[in-house]
Amino acid sequence: MLPRLWLSPLVLLLTAQVWAAEPPPLQPQLAGATDQIIVKLRPTAQRSMMFSAETQVEAAIANVGLGIPASYERSMGGNAHVVQLPGTMSVQEAQDYATLLRTDPDVEYAEPDQLMFPTADITPNDPQFLSQWHYGSANADGGAANLPAAWGEVTNAPEIVVAVVDTGVLDHPDLSARLLGGQAATSGYDFVNTPARANDGDGRDNNPSDPGDWISATDAADSAFSGCSVRNSSWHGTHVAGTVGAVSNNAEGVAGVAWNAKILMARGMGKCGGYLSDISDAIRWSSGETINGVPNPNPAKVINLSLGGSGSCGSTYQNAIDAATARGAAVVVAAGNSNQNVSTHRPANCNNVIAVTALARTGGKASFSNTGEGVDIAAPGVSILSTLNGGKTTPTDQHTYAAYHGTSMATPHVSGVIALMLAANPHLRDGSIPASEIPALLEQKLKASARLFVTGTGNDCSTALCGAGALDAYRAVMSVKTPPLAQAGANQNVSMGAGVTLQGTGTAGGYGGNIRQYHWQQTAGVPVALSNNTAANPTFVAPATADTLAFRLTVTNDVGLTATSVTNVTVGATPISTSVCDPAVLNNAETLTGQWAAGCASQHRGSGFHARYYRFTLAMAATVKFDLKSSKQDAYLYLLAGDQTTSSVLASNDDSNGTTDSQLVRNLPAGTYVLEATTYAAGRAGEFTISATLATAPTTQNSCDPSAVALGATTNGQWETCAARKRGSTYFAGYYRFTLTQAATVTIDLKSDQQDTFLYLLNGSSADSSVLASNDDSNGSTNSQIKRTLAAGTYTLEATTYYRQKTGAFSVTVK
């Protein structure tokens, strides 16, 4: 006999609560468009006296041209101005136009004047929604799935087919409209092959209605149902289907997780469970495979298996699951209700499934839940209110609601959230990403977006027990909806025939995001051959004629969303230096001789000090050693973060290794830098040498692991190589950990005289912990401060910068 699969134990609790309806909020119909640009001019007093701000803005518009007849609209606070576009543009088009405006030397910044809208949280008007604690915010209940915020992000979405492989389904006024075909009898297929177990008078047929799975005393005595005790019908499939997608915001009953779901029923269980052979066929059919001549015209993108039994996965299950995922269906499975390791429970222990365990309302582990390394995520599974039938054995016309416990109830929360994710991003449905890759991608996003487990529940979850974290619907939706960020780099001025590197960078966007592709396209100027137009930093040789070359960078993330940015490379003749202050070119492994004399005053040491300047360009990130030596004077060396003599200071050195020479060793990203070679004493002259050498390895290692910071003490740091987790991979960061033995009000200061700072306070001991608070520019300065009352525990700081790829020294104080 084939193995028999048993439903998880269920606990029944009827609940009901009436609640007044609330109208849905305004929907942002134009969230992705604008017809205005904000422009701020650079503060130049002399020019401001000669021309009005309106004239200067119009001149910048004229310089850009492009055939776009934009016009000056009005001034605004902060000395900025509004430019009216000739019509509505997408935000990306407006951003491209703003990028071109910023190339005007008179423009300090330009950005789209984007429309904003009320917070998009949606609270449905279903009377018993307030009894569905499991849908609310984690701020109220630690185990809740945070759905109202997610619903606000997925409006007017297409219908996603979710298959429920279960005991079948019944018509219910709060569910039928979401069933395929609009009623239980036409919502899918009945795969229960044995008539006695099917309990509907025959075997397999095209009616997946649930006739009831009660066990009478006579049934219990029958060897066919041995092991099953006397009980009433569970209406399990109807309850699970209601959680996936009960009709929501209809002023009736309860809400479902996925308002956009269409539920496909594949009946695989009847009286006393269901056979593996029937359930595996139901899985295959649900994903679009024709079974025994029966096609499925509505293949599911998600398959919910709120079922299971003991034993190893086995070939039948694994082959069916692999076939379904290869067609692009995510398979979501209950971990089981035996309070054991999930490795003993199938199909949760199969490969290529998303195994779900249950959380209690507190956010702790539900006492009955299976746990272990095989669990992928945890979701609400205690007192889950959903649709049911009032019949004790056979169905009646009494359409009810009841609260059940079980990992069977947690699983449809995850299936519904995956349906929301699929609805939120068309690239997950349009074939641009191979179907076979989508289930694993959805699982990765789901786990990356999960919340940290709450502590102090008395039965706490951990990643070793309950998977990656607690299901968070909003974060999950945003993990597939957040577009990437593209930066094509600053405009460059180069000589004819010079080697050029395009400085593209990208941030993937969303939780657990990755960049799938960079793509460069030349849009103007003499055509050049890029070394690799799918690399972030392709190179080319500038043409032998003067011209302005325009390039567009498109960044695509792993869920198919794109962002673009543009940059210009102006090619001209090699300039002839007319001033001893103009930077000379210093190449790798090159030593140049210089002379300090009058005619060039130091920009950073002071006007009484003589200086010479050198420009150094890195094609890729590297550790560089700069040496300034002189037998005539005490040398002083500055490294500047840009290609101008007035650029900000990254680092400086005097008297390296006990000598009067100076040396800097620094890990630098690709880009152009300037060295200021000056002297320790004012008015001194004489000869010197300066050299640059790429080191084989960094002299110092900048670890991303958080270091301890003592309360009341100041710790110094250096931004060099560690990529920021919260600010983004193109920002440098330092991490610090402090512990409070009791609740206290803490003031955290991040200061730097070299960079504009940005500070995050994280709720835990890891650099990946969730953000509690952040701050930029406290008290009108470029320093940052957070003052917060905190409970006893360990916290982490991310000390980072406001601008991308900026380095320099900083200090952190926690008191």
659-673 confidence digits (pLDDT tens): 888 988 887 888 889
Q: How confident is residue 780, by pLDDT bands cut at 50, 70 and 90?
A: low
DSSP E strand boundaries for 488-632: 492-495, 499-501, 505-507, 515-524, 539-541, 547-557, 562-572, 584-585, 590-596, 611-618, 622-629
- Calculate ∠ Cα 308-310-316, nearest 5°: 70
DSSP 750-814: EE-SSS-EEEEEESSSSTTSPEEEEESSGGGSS-EEEEEEE-SEEEEEEEEESSTT--EEEEEEE
For residue 601, the cross-strand partners are 610
User: What is the Cα–Cα distance from 230 to 237, expressed in whole angstroms?
Assistant: 19
With cut-offs at 50, 70 and 90, classify the pLDDT of residue 38.
Answer: confident
pLDDT 10s digits, 372-382: 999 999 999 99
- CA quadruple 441, 442, 447, 450: dihedral, nearest 10: 140
**31 pLDDT more than 70:** no
Which residues have CB under 8 Å from 730's CB, separation 6+?
A: 487, 505, 507, 723, 804, 805
Classify residue 392 by burial, with Cβ atoms within 10 Å: 0-12, 13-18, 19+: exposed
Whether the pLDDT of residue 359 is over 70: the answer is yes
How far apart are the C-alpha atoms of 232 and 616, rounded to whole Å? 81
Q: What is the rounded average pLDDT of the residues 383-396?
A: 95
* pLDDT reported for residue 658: 67
Fill in the DSSP letter of residue 497: T
Q: Which uninterrupted H or E stretch holds 5?
A: strand 4-5
Determine the pLDDT at residue 716: 82
- Specify the range with the lowest mean pLDDT, choosing from 65-69, 404-408, 620-624: 65-69
Q: Is residue 721 within 8 Å of 809, Cβ to Cβ? A: no
pLDDT over threshold 80, residue 131: yes
What confidence tier does 112 reach under pLDDT thresholds 50, 70, 90? confident
Instruction: Please give the average per-residue pLDDT across 347-359, as a whole number.
Output: 97
Structure confidence at residue 51 (pLDDT): 67
Burial level of 518, CB count in 10 A (0-12/13-18/19+)?
Answer: buried
First to last CA, the chain: 69
| Nearest residue to 642 (alpha-carbon basis) of 807, 811, 809 | 807
* Cα–Cα distance list, 522 to 461, 467, 504, 543 (Å): 52, 46, 13, 14
> DSSP assignment, residue 344?
G
> Going edge to edge, which strands form the sheet with 492-495?
492-495, 562-572, 547-557, 515-524
The answer to whether the CB of 215 falls within 8 A of the CB of 229 is yes
Burial class (CB in 10 A: 0-12, 13-18, 19+), 729: middle
Q: Which segments within 390-444 are labelled E, that is strand?
A: 399-405
Sort strands 635-640 and 707-708 into parallel, antiparallel or unpaired: unpaired
Please state which of the ranges 224-228, 454-458, 732-736 shows the lowest mean pLDDT.
224-228
Lowest mean pLDDT among 88-102, 195-209, 390-404, 487-501: 88-102
For residue 347, whether the previous peptide bond is cis, meaning omega lies within 30 degrees of 0, is yes
User: Which residues are part of the catalytic machinery?
Assistant: 166, 236, 408
Q: What is the largest CA-CA distance in the chain?
A: 110
Work out the number of other CB atoms within 10 angstroms of the CB of residue 24.
Answer: 14
Across the strands, what pairs with 399?
389
| Angle, CA 129 vertex, CA 479 and CA 29 arms, to 5° | 50
Q: What is the pLDDT of residue 366?
A: 96
Angle at 119 between CA 113 and CA 125, to 5 degrees: 145
Q: Which residues contact 129 (CB under 8 A, 6 or more apart)?
A: 19, 123, 135, 254, 255
User: Is the CB of residue 106 less than 8 Å from the CB of residue 41?
Assistant: yes
Could you tell me which residues are beta bridge partners of residue 517? 556
CA distances 209 to 167, 281, 394, 765, 800, Å, are 8, 18, 11, 51, 58
Confidence check: pLDDT of 574 > 90: no
Phi, psi of 336 (to 5 degrees): 105, 160
Q: Please, where are the H alpha helices in 482-598?
A: none
What is the pLDDT at residue 5? 37
Classify residue 699 as exposed, middle or buried by CB count within 10 Å of its CB (0-12, 13-18, 19+): exposed
pLDDT (tens digit per residue) in 457-494 = 999 999 999 999 999 999 999 999 999 988 898 889 88
Smallest CA-to-CA distance from 61 within 44, 39, 43 is with 39
How confident is the model over 749-767, as a mean pLDDT?
Answer: 87
Average pLDDT over the chain reads: 86
Confidence category of residue 703, pLDDT binned at 50, 70, 90? low
To the nearest 10 degrees (0 to 180), the angle between helices 473-481 and 438-448 is: 130
Amino acid identity, position 572? G
Q: Tens digits of per-residue pLDDT, 252-283?
A: 999 999 998 999 999 999 998 899 999 999 99
Cα gap 122→149, rounded to integer Å:
7
Q: Both tokens of residue 472? A: 């968070």
Q: Give the mean model confidence (pLDDT) for residues 214-230.
A: 88
Q: What's the confidence (pLDDT) of residue 726?
A: 87
Amino acid occupying residue 759: L
Q: Say how far residue 353 (Cα) sits from the centre of its chain.
A: 22
pLDDT band at 589 (very low <50, low <70, confident <90, very high): confident
The distance from CA 258 to its chain's CA centroid, rounded to whole angstroms, is 21
Q: Tokens 């365990």 map to which residue?
A: 357
Residue holding tokens 């966007």? Answer: 509
Per-residue model confidence as pLDDT tens digits over 281-325:
999 999 999 999 999 999 999 999 999 998 999 999 999 999 999
More reliable by pLDDT, 473 or 39: 473
CA distance readout (Å), 486 to 525, 669, 773: 22, 17, 26
Helix (H) or strand (E) holding 149: helix 147-151
Task: Phi first, then psi: give them for residue 138, nearest 5 degrees.
Answer: -65, -20
Which stretches within 270-400 are classed as H helix? 276-286, 315-326
Answer yes or no: are the C-beta atoms of 746 and 799 closer than 8 Å. no
Mean pLDDT of 706-727: 85
Contact 736, 796 (CB under 8 A): yes
Pick the closest to residue 283 from 322, 324, 249, 245 (CA basis): 324
Would you state the structure tokens that stand for residue 756, as one six-digit string? 């504009």
DSSP 540: E
DSSP state string for 61-107: HHHH-TT---EEEEEEGGGEEEEEEEEEEEHHHHHHHHHHHTTSTTE
Model pLDDT, residue 559: 94
499 phi, psi to nearest 5 deg? -75, 135
Per-residue model confidence (pLDDT) at position 656: 67
Say which residue the tokens 């941030």 belong to.
Answer: 507
